[in-house]
A and B are shown apart, each in its own frame.
Chain A
Protein backbone atom coordinates (compact mmCIF):
# COMPACT_ATOMS: atom_id res chain seq x y z
CA UNK A 1 0.00 0.00 0.00
CA UNK A 2 1.13 3.54 -0.70
CA UNK A 3 2.24 5.41 2.41
CA UNK A 4 4.23 8.40 3.61
CA UNK A 5 6.11 8.21 6.91
CA UNK A 6 7.48 11.09 8.92
CA UNK A 7 9.63 9.78 11.71
CA UNK A 8 9.69 12.73 14.07
CA UNK A 9 6.34 13.89 15.39
CA UNK A 10 7.64 16.61 17.71
CA UNK A 11 10.98 18.38 17.45
CA UNK A 12 12.29 21.09 19.74
CA UNK A 13 15.37 23.07 18.73
CA UNK A 14 17.15 26.17 19.87
CA UNK A 15 17.62 29.02 17.44
CA UNK A 16 20.62 28.53 15.11
CA UNK A 17 20.51 24.76 15.48
CA UNK A 18 20.45 22.64 12.34
CA UNK A 19 17.29 20.86 11.30
CA UNK A 20 16.65 17.60 9.52
CA UNK A 21 13.17 16.11 9.26
CA UNK A 22 12.83 12.62 7.88
CA UNK A 23 10.35 11.50 5.24
CA UNK A 24 10.10 8.07 3.67
CA UNK A 25 7.54 6.86 1.20
CA UNK A 26 6.31 3.56 -0.09
CA UNK A 27 5.25 3.88 -3.71
CA UNK A 28 5.89 2.05 -6.90
CA UNK A 29 6.97 3.94 -9.98
CA UNK A 30 7.75 7.60 -10.48
CA UNK A 31 6.71 10.04 -7.79
CA UNK A 32 6.51 13.78 -7.23
CA UNK A 33 7.59 14.92 -3.77
CA UNK A 34 6.61 17.95 -1.73
CA UNK A 35 7.14 19.57 1.63
CA UNK A 36 4.40 21.82 2.95
CA UNK A 37 4.50 24.03 6.04
CA UNK A 38 1.66 25.27 8.21
CA UNK A 39 2.48 28.23 10.45
CA UNK A 40 0.24 28.75 13.47
CA UNK A 41 -3.16 30.02 12.35
CA UNK A 42 -2.28 29.90 8.67
CA UNK A 43 -3.02 27.64 5.73
CA UNK A 44 -0.71 25.01 4.30
CA UNK A 45 1.99 26.53 2.12
CA UNK A 46 4.39 24.91 -0.30
CA UNK A 47 8.01 24.90 0.91
CA UNK A 48 9.59 23.03 -1.95
CA UNK A 49 8.98 20.32 -4.52
CA UNK A 50 10.85 17.70 -6.51
CA UNK A 51 9.73 16.36 -9.88
CA UNK A 52 12.93 15.41 -11.69
CA UNK A 53 16.52 16.45 -12.24
CA UNK A 54 18.86 17.56 -9.47
CA UNK A 55 17.87 15.54 -6.38
CA UNK A 56 18.84 18.42 -4.09
CA UNK A 57 16.09 21.00 -4.24
CA UNK A 58 16.01 24.39 -2.61
CA UNK A 59 12.87 26.01 -1.34
CA UNK A 60 11.78 29.16 0.38
CA UNK A 61 13.23 30.51 3.63
CA UNK A 62 16.51 28.61 3.35
CA UNK A 63 15.00 25.13 3.35
CA UNK A 64 16.27 22.35 1.13
CA UNK A 65 15.48 18.68 0.63
CA UNK A 66 17.31 15.77 -0.89
CA UNK A 67 15.64 13.01 -2.85
CA UNK A 68 17.43 9.69 -2.40
CA UNK A 69 15.71 7.24 -4.69
CA UNK A 70 17.46 4.15 -3.32
CA UNK A 71 16.25 4.97 0.18
CA UNK A 72 12.77 6.19 -0.85
CA UNK A 73 13.51 9.29 1.20
CA UNK A 74 13.01 13.03 0.86
CA UNK A 75 14.42 14.61 4.02
CA UNK A 76 14.00 18.29 4.76
CA UNK A 77 16.96 20.30 6.03
CA UNK A 78 17.84 23.79 7.18
CA UNK A 79 21.33 24.71 8.43
CA UNK A 80 20.20 27.24 11.02
CA UNK A 81 16.63 27.52 12.25
CA UNK A 82 14.93 30.68 13.45
CA UNK A 83 12.14 31.19 15.95
CA UNK A 84 9.85 32.02 13.01
CA UNK A 85 10.30 28.46 11.68
CA UNK A 86 8.04 27.18 14.44
CA UNK A 87 5.33 25.37 12.50
CA UNK A 88 3.94 22.02 11.41
CA UNK A 89 5.79 20.41 8.50
CA UNK A 90 4.22 17.89 6.15
CA UNK A 91 5.84 15.65 3.59
CA UNK A 92 3.60 14.74 0.65
CA UNK A 93 3.92 12.34 -2.26
CA UNK A 94 1.99 11.95 -5.48
CA UNK A 95 2.37 9.09 -7.86
CA UNK A 96 3.03 10.15 -11.42
CA UNK A 97 0.01 8.12 -12.44
CA UNK A 98 -2.40 9.47 -9.85
CA UNK A 99 -4.16 12.62 -8.72
CA UNK A 100 -4.18 12.46 -4.96
CA UNK A 101 -1.41 14.10 -2.96
CA UNK A 102 -0.82 11.87 0.05
CA UNK A 103 0.51 13.43 3.23
CA UNK A 104 2.49 12.17 6.15
CA UNK A 105 1.24 12.77 9.69
CA UNK A 106 3.38 15.86 10.06
CA UNK A 107 6.17 17.03 12.35
CA UNK A 108 5.59 19.77 14.84
CA UNK A 109 8.70 21.96 15.15
CA UNK A 110 9.18 24.32 18.07
CA UNK A 111 12.15 26.66 17.91
CA UNK A 112 13.05 28.26 21.22
CA UNK A 113 14.86 31.60 21.49
Chain B
Protein backbone atom coordinates (compact mmCIF):
# COMPACT_ATOMS: atom_id res chain seq x y z
CA UNK B 1 0.00 0.00 0.00
CA UNK B 2 0.94 3.65 -0.15
CA UNK B 3 3.51 4.84 2.31
CA UNK B 4 4.14 8.25 3.80
CA UNK B 5 4.41 10.82 1.03
CA UNK B 6 6.35 14.06 1.34
CA UNK B 7 6.40 16.93 -1.11
CA UNK B 8 8.42 18.47 -2.52
CA UNK B 9 11.33 16.06 -2.47
CA UNK B 10 13.73 18.96 -2.84
CA UNK B 11 13.31 22.63 -2.06
CA UNK B 12 15.84 25.39 -2.62
CA UNK B 13 15.02 28.78 -1.17
CA UNK B 14 16.76 32.02 -0.41
CA UNK B 15 17.60 33.15 3.08
CA UNK B 16 14.68 35.05 4.60
CA UNK B 17 11.98 33.35 2.53
CA UNK B 18 9.00 31.37 3.80
CA UNK B 19 8.62 27.65 2.98
CA UNK B 20 5.97 25.01 3.45
CA UNK B 21 6.68 21.29 3.49
CA UNK B 22 3.85 18.82 3.09
CA UNK B 23 3.32 15.35 4.53
CA UNK B 24 0.64 12.82 3.57
CA UNK B 25 0.64 10.08 6.19
CA UNK B 26 -0.49 6.52 5.70
CA UNK B 27 -4.27 6.45 5.58
CA UNK B 28 -5.80 5.83 8.99
CA UNK B 29 -2.69 6.66 10.97
CA UNK B 30 -3.62 8.99 13.79
CA UNK B 31 -0.11 9.83 14.95
CA UNK B 32 2.17 12.03 12.85
CA UNK B 33 5.72 13.17 13.57
CA UNK B 34 8.12 15.67 12.03
CA UNK B 35 11.86 15.17 12.31
CA UNK B 36 14.87 17.06 10.96
CA UNK B 37 18.06 15.32 9.89
CA UNK B 38 21.24 17.27 9.35
CA UNK B 39 24.27 15.83 7.59
CA UNK B 40 26.01 13.20 9.70
CA UNK B 41 23.35 13.27 12.38
CA UNK B 42 20.41 11.15 13.35
CA UNK B 43 16.85 12.39 12.96
CA UNK B 44 15.99 15.08 15.50
CA UNK B 45 12.43 15.22 16.84
CA UNK B 46 10.47 18.39 16.07
CA UNK B 47 6.76 17.86 16.75
CA UNK B 48 4.16 15.15 17.30
CA UNK B 49 0.48 15.25 16.36
CA UNK B 50 -2.23 13.00 17.70
CA UNK B 51 -5.16 13.64 15.42
CA UNK B 52 -5.46 17.37 14.77
CA UNK B 53 -3.65 18.57 17.87
CA UNK B 54 0.04 19.01 18.50
CA UNK B 55 0.56 16.81 21.54
CA UNK B 56 4.26 17.62 21.82
CA UNK B 57 6.01 20.51 20.06
CA UNK B 58 9.00 20.60 22.37
CA UNK B 59 11.42 19.87 19.53
CA UNK B 60 10.64 22.94 17.44
CA UNK B 61 13.86 25.00 17.55
CA UNK B 62 12.24 28.45 17.69
CA UNK B 63 9.09 30.36 16.79
CA UNK B 64 10.01 30.49 13.10
CA UNK B 65 8.88 26.88 12.90
CA UNK B 66 5.22 25.94 12.97
CA UNK B 67 3.21 22.90 11.92
CA UNK B 68 -0.47 22.20 11.38
CA UNK B 69 -2.67 19.20 10.77
CA UNK B 70 -6.13 20.73 10.45
CA UNK B 71 -8.10 17.65 9.47
CA UNK B 72 -6.06 15.02 11.23
CA UNK B 73 -4.47 13.71 8.05
CA UNK B 74 -2.16 15.87 5.91
CA UNK B 75 0.31 18.01 7.81
CA UNK B 76 2.28 21.08 6.77
CA UNK B 77 5.53 22.21 8.36
CA UNK B 78 6.00 25.95 7.92
CA UNK B 79 9.29 27.78 8.30
CA UNK B 80 9.38 31.58 8.32
CA UNK B 81 12.39 33.78 7.58
CA UNK B 82 14.53 30.80 6.65
CA UNK B 83 18.18 30.75 7.66
CA UNK B 84 21.08 28.81 6.18
CA UNK B 85 21.17 26.69 9.33
CA UNK B 86 17.70 25.41 8.50
CA UNK B 87 19.17 23.43 5.61
CA UNK B 88 18.49 19.76 6.33
CA UNK B 89 16.30 16.84 5.35
CA UNK B 90 12.88 17.16 6.95
CA UNK B 91 11.31 13.79 7.64
CA UNK B 92 7.71 12.97 8.32
CA UNK B 93 6.56 9.75 9.95
CA UNK B 94 3.19 8.32 10.84
CA UNK B 95 2.01 5.59 13.15
CA UNK B 96 -1.31 3.77 13.52
CA UNK B 97 -1.68 5.02 17.08
CA UNK B 98 0.26 7.20 19.44
CA UNK B 99 1.04 4.27 21.69
CA UNK B 100 4.66 3.80 22.64
CA UNK B 101 4.93 0.35 21.07
CA UNK B 102 3.71 1.55 17.69
CA UNK B 103 6.60 1.80 15.18
CA UNK B 104 6.98 4.85 12.98
CA UNK B 105 6.72 4.68 9.20
CA UNK B 106 8.90 7.30 7.54
CA UNK B 107 8.61 9.16 4.27
CA UNK B 108 11.53 9.89 1.96
CA UNK B 109 11.89 13.38 3.33
CA UNK B 110 12.16 16.86 1.86
CA UNK B 111 15.70 18.15 1.35
CA UNK B 112 15.64 21.86 2.14
CA UNK B 113 18.52 24.01 1.02
CA UNK B 114 18.64 27.63 2.11
CA UNK B 115 21.05 29.72 0.04
Contact = CB atoms under 8 A, between A and B. Distances in A.
The finding on whether chains A and B are genuine partners in a shared complex, rather than unrelated, reads yes
Contacts of A45: 106
A94 B100 contact: yes
Interface residues of A, number: 26
B12 to A, nearest CB: 19
A96 interface: yes
Interface in A77-111: 90, 92, 94-96, 98-106
Contacts of B104: 46, 101
Q: Contact residue range for chain B?
A: 20 to 34
B43 interface: yes
Interface in A1-54: 4, 6, 32, 34, 36, 42-46, 49, 51
B42 A103 contact: yes
Contacts of B101: 32, 49, 51
B3 A43 contact: yes
B33 A101 contact: yes
Most buried by A among B4, B41, B45, B108: B45
A22 to B, nearest CB: 14
Interface string B13-31: 0000000000000000001
Interface string B74-115: 000000000000000001010000101101111111000000
A102 B45 CA distance: 7
Contact of B43 (A6, A32, A42, A44): A44
Interface of A: 4, 6, 32, 34, 36, 42-46, 49, 51, 90, 92, 94-96, 98-106
Interface of B: 3-4, 31, 33, 35, 40-45, 48, 50, 55-56, 58-59, 91, 93, 98, 100-101, 103-109
**3 closest pairs, A vs B, by CB?**
A103-B42, A44-B106, A100-B45
